[in-house]
Amino acid sequence: MLAPPQILLFGHPGSGKTHLLGALLRASDAQPAALGGTVADLTGHLEPVRAAVYADGNLKAAGTEVNTFRVQYRTPEPTDFVLIDCDGRASTALLKAADALEARRVTGTVARAVLGSDLLVLVIDATLNDDDRAERFEDFLFFLEQVHGRRLRDREVGGLPVFVVLTRCDLLAKPGDTTATWEAEVRWHLAKVRRQFEEFVDDQLPFEGHGSSSLPFGSVDVEDYATAVRRPPLADAPKPEAEPFGVAELFHDAFRAAAAHRTRARASDTRLRHTVWAVAAGVLALLAGAVAVTVFAPATADPQLPERVKLYARGEPAAAVRLAEPTATRNKRLLASYRADPGFFALPADLQAFVEGRLREVDDYQAYRAKLAAQPAPSEARTLDELERVRAKLAGELALPAEYTWGDTEAARLRDKWLADAASIRGAEAAWHDWYRGLLNQATALTLTGSFAGDWRDRVNRLADAGTQPPFALGSPLPGSEALPGRDAVTYRVPFEYDRVYQARRDWEYARGRLLHLRDLADALALTPSAERRPLLIPPPGSGLDATAFPAGQLAELRTRFPRGGELYPADVSGYPEWELSGFPDPARSVLAGRVRESFASGAAAVRTLVAARLNGDDTPAGWARAAEGLSAPPFAEWGRLLHVLAKLEERAAGDPVAGLAAFLRAPEFAFDLRGAELTIPLVLRNPPLVPAGPLTVTVTPRAGGEPVVRTFAPVGEPVPRDLTTAYTFGAAPPFTYRPGDALRAELPVRSGAQAFTLTWDAGGSRTFQFDRLAREPRLGTEPATGVRLAPAAGSVVPRVPALLPEVR
């Protein structure tokens, strides 16, 4: 039984070879007229490929170098075919080492499949750019040259069909294209590919076209096709059927071309066998003599060798041409054939030296080019040190050899480009760095302001705008950076990403953000000249403030003027932590802190007035409890949020002061744990100065009756002079509990010389929360003891009276 014709699909990874096979079955079902018949999957292995292409899209690699499918092309005369799908990586390996096809015994799976095929389908992605496509053509042409040479050597029948197929043409469609415009675009790309391929073909290979009446041994025959596994959505067909484009026509011609080639090959083999038998007798008769001649006669030299070498030398192009690929490889083979000729050593010395020198030059150039290709380009460096190492190697180790004239070669031009690129990158890196450092210096100077008046705000805005207008477009090429084939000019993006520029840019971005936050906070606190409403400015008492409506309006203005969710104020953060005063340097911080405290004090006074109105003079635990009930409703809730923003500017952990007041008023009791205290007495209060004459006593009398709780704190240590005061220390006493409404009084016997007095703490802002008396100045007899201060020792637990608690006299 005769073996069926073989069709080999060959190409680089990702070119779409396997997709074509899946599309073949689809074309068989949907386009039998264009296919000229139908296709049956005899192995059952092709159907999963179609399903992957058109159904789930999960097309997995076969995992083998070749994947074979046997199909039957069903026409009035059905014919079996073998379709061979070469793995992209295996194809690339053979393309890069195509001279393996010239070996006496071809051993590779892919190489054997190539030589046994009746049709080669070379697959190219239609979306490749010109440079990448040219690179693919160079690979294919060197490969086809080896195929041609091997077939010529083996005296195989001529006219091997080769189809160049563009795949993925659906990706050429642009928005708004109609069917007509898209198909015209596909035809244009196909014509462009055809011209480009023919230019290579005319220069490199002896191809023959269709219709040759006499096909020489080993010749190849090239056709081209454009395909897509499905048509793209177009303006006049937005939802096309999942039918292939050009695939039916491709395989219609492929089946016929492969079958025709197999028929010619079989006919040639038959004629060859007849010829062999006819001359066998004569060959046997002459064999003995031929063997003797072959064994004992010397090898015959080519008498035309001197003229061939001279002709080669006279017509030799410049180094830039003769050392370029694939010319260099062909020249090397030709020169090597001269040197291998038996008559080579009979050549004049100058011709021998010429051949040897040119062979050595090709080897040296290819080694130099490989070494240069392994060198990182200047555009790959990311620091000035890396760039200098690249430049030094180009100038030293990779300097052009003095014995050769390689100045215009591809490698020399690339080296010259890289040296120029290194200088351009260094200059552009310095320009980027200096620009960002200049912005940073200006931002720092504006941040260190001691006044926000005048044109400070305008200067901030101008600087921020200037920072959004870089001096160079990232995609623009650097001056002095040349574009070569396959090598783009270096753009300003490369030095833009250098470490030094990156750090300068980060420093500027931080300084810019901080400066804009400073501007916004100064605006909000009314420290800059502006007619806009200032959401964090709270007027002092007596300014006609409407305390019930004011906080809601300020909060709304705050959200409108400084909304979260933008570049300066991310959405995933609450409040305004960017305005914390600790983030700004002096003297600006001190100016801001003064205004923050003024606003907070004004707001606290307004809230105390509202709370006192709710209390209505009922300074009892029950009265305060009733006052606390409305603190979660307007306007108290809004006052709490507004004052909370101000409080957090100075203390990140500060809580909502209104919520804190409500919790304080609802507390049933307060724990006291005085672990000692320090009493400060001014020297000028009495003459001689007052000194303690006994222990400090704190007495708590329960509101509900019962025995008073008395705690005594004895003096410890020696007095400590401190400026115009003297500090006295008292030891610890057991903890106690204070309940709202309990009476609290503290006393300390003192003397001034021979006179005895008592310091008494018995006056505060409320009869319900009397422990605030300890934080106030005592009285000395009936007079105020001005400047006397009692401070709890470190580690003590003492309840704090909220700033929003009004005094009730």
The answer to whether residues 666 and 625 touch, using CB atoms and an 8 Å cutoff, is yes
Question: Once rounded to an integer, what is the mean pLDDT over residues 100-122?
Answer: 78
**CATH code of residue 155:** 3.40.50.300
Q: Concatenated DSSP letters for 542-554?
A: TS---TTTHHHHH
- Do 749 and 721 share a structural domain? yes
Question: Once rounded to an integer, what is the mean pLDDT over residues 342-371?
Answer: 94
Backbone angles phi, psi at 721, to 5 degrees: -65, 140
Question: Once rounded to an integer, what is the mean pLDDT over residues 71-95?
Answer: 88
pLDDT of residue 367: 94
pLDDT of residue 99: 59
Residue 403 has pLDDT above 80, yes or no: yes
Residue 262 has pLDDT above 70, yes or no: yes
| CA atoms of 98 and 79, how far apart (whole Å) | 32
Question: Is residue 68 helix, strand or coil?
Answer: strand
- Do 681 and 654 share a structural domain? no
Residue 205 has pLDDT above 60, yes or no: no
In this structure, the strands spanning 119-125 and 160-167 are parallel
Question: Once rounded to an integer, what is the mean pLDDT over residues 688-696?
Answer: 96
- Do 218 and 146 share a structural domain? yes
In this structure, the strands spanning 743-752 and 755-761 are antiparallel
- Do 109 and 234 share a structural domain? yes
The answer to whether residues 189 and 245 touch, using CB atoms and an 8 Å cutoff, is no
User: What angle separates helix 349-373 from helix 305-314, to the nearest 10 degrees?
Assistant: 50
Look at the chain and report how many structural domains it folds into: 5
Q: Concatenated DSSP letters for 680-702?
A: EEEGGGSSSPPEE-S-EEEEEE-
Give residue-wise pLDDT tens across range 661-686.
999 999 999 999 999 999 999 999 99
- Asked if residue 714 is part of any domain, the answer here is yes
Give residue-wise pLDDT tens across range 160-178.
889 999 999 999 999 989 9
- Do 317 and 403 share a structural domain? no
pLDDT of residue 380: 93
- Do 694 and 615 share a structural domain? no
Binned at pLDDT 50, 70 and 90, residue 113 comes out as confident
Residue 556 has pLDDT above 90, yes or no: yes
Tokens for 72?
A: 């039957």
Question: Taken in order 415, 420, 423, 428, is the CA torsion positive or negative?
Answer: negative
Tokens for 339?
A: 């040197």
Contacts of 390 (CB under 8 A, 6+ apart): 375, 376, 377, 378, 380, 381, 418, 422
- Asked if residue 277 is part of any domain, the answer here is no
Residue 607 has pLDDT above 60, yes or no: yes
| CA atoms of 384 and 501, how far apart (whole Å) | 10
The answer to whether residues 142 and 95 touch, using CB atoms and an 8 Å cutoff, is yes
- Asked if residue 797 is part of any domain, the answer here is no
Q: How far is CA 730 from the centre of its chain?
A: 64
What percent of the chain stands above pLDDT 70?
89
- Do 541 and 492 share a structural domain? no
- Asked if residue 160 is part of any domain, the answer here is yes
- Asked if residue 780 is part of any domain, the answer here is yes
- Do 250 and 180 share a structural domain? yes
- Asked if residue 581 is part of any domain, the answer here is yes
- Do 347 and 493 share a structural domain? no
Residue 147 has pLDDT above 80, yes or no: no
The answer to whether residues 648 and 750 touch, using CB atoms and an 8 Å cutoff, is no
Of 374, 396, 414, the residue that ends a domain is 374
Number of H helices and number of E strands within the chain?
22, 20
Binned at pLDDT 50, 70 and 90, residue 771 comes out as very high
Residue 577 has pLDDT above 70, yes or no: yes
Give residue-wise pLDDT tens across range 731-744.
999 999 999 999 99
Residue ranges making up the domain that contains 592? 533-666
Task: Please name the residue that has the structure tokens 């010829």.
Answer: 275
Q: Concatenated DSSP letters for 397-462?
A: TTPPPTTS--TTSHHHHHHHHHHHHHHHHHHHHHHHHHHHHHHHHHHHHHHT-S---TTHHHHHHH
| CA atoms of 169 and 184, how far apart (whole Å) | 11
| CA atoms of 455 and 181, how far apart (whole Å) | 59
Give residue-wise pLDDT tens across range 436-486.
999 999 999 999 999 999 999 999 999 999 999 999 999 999 999 999 888
What percent of the chain stands above pLDDT 90?
67
> Up-side HSE of residue 40: CA atoms within 13 Å toward CB?
8
Q: Concatenated DSSP letters for 472-490?
A: S-TTSBPTT---BTTBPPP
The answer to whether residues 690 and 751 touch, using CB atoms and an 8 Å cutoff, is yes
Residue 268 has pLDDT above 80, yes or no: no
| CA atoms of 425 and 380, how far apart (whole Å) | 11
Residue 295 has pLDDT above 50, yes or no: no
Question: Once rounded to an integer, what is the mean pLDDT over residues 281-287?
Answer: 43
Q: Which of 420, 410, 405, 403 is nearest to 366 (CA)?
A: 410
pLDDT of residue 292: 36
| CA atoms of 23 and 50, how far apart (whole Å) | 6
- Asked if residue 524 is part of any domain, the answer here is no
- Do 249 and 392 share a structural domain? no
- Residues pairing with 167 in the sheet: 125
Per-residue burial over 289-317, b = 16 or more CB atoms within 10 Å of its CB, e = otherwise? eeeeeeeeeeeeeeeebeeebeebeeeee
- This prediction has a pTM of 0.60
Mean pLDDT over the full length of the chain: 88
Binned at pLDDT 50, 70 and 90, residue 108 comes out as confident
What phi-psi label fits residue 570: left (phi over 0), alpha (psi between -120 and 50 degrees) or beta?
beta
| CA atoms of 168 and 20, how far apart (whole Å) | 10
Give residue-wise pLDDT tens across range 610-644.
999 999 999 999 999 999 999 999 999 999 999 99
Task: Please name the residue that has the structure tokens 């580690």.
Answer: 795
- Do 457 and 326 share a structural domain? no
Give residue-wise pLDDT tens across range 643-655.
999 999 999 999 9
- Asked if residue 807 is part of any domain, the answer here is no
Residue 283 has pLDDT above 50, yes or no: no
Of 331, 347, 374, the residue that ends a domain is 374
Binned at pLDDT 50, 70 and 90, residue 284 comes out as very low
Question: Is residue 801 helix, strand or coil?
Answer: coil
pLDDT of residue 558: 94
User: Which of the residue ranges 333-342, 435-444, 591-600 would you say has the lowest mean pLDDT?
Assistant: 333-342
Of 666, 688, 711, the residue that ends a domain is 666
pLDDT of residue 188: 87
- Do 599 and 662 share a structural domain? yes
pLDDT of residue 760: 98
pLDDT of residue 542: 85
Tokens for 265?
A: 């090959």
Residue 342 has pLDDT above 50, yes or no: yes
Within 544-635, residue ranges assigned H as helices are 550-561, 588-615, 621-628
User: What angle separates helix 499-524 from helix 550-561, to the nearest 10 degrees?
Assistant: 160
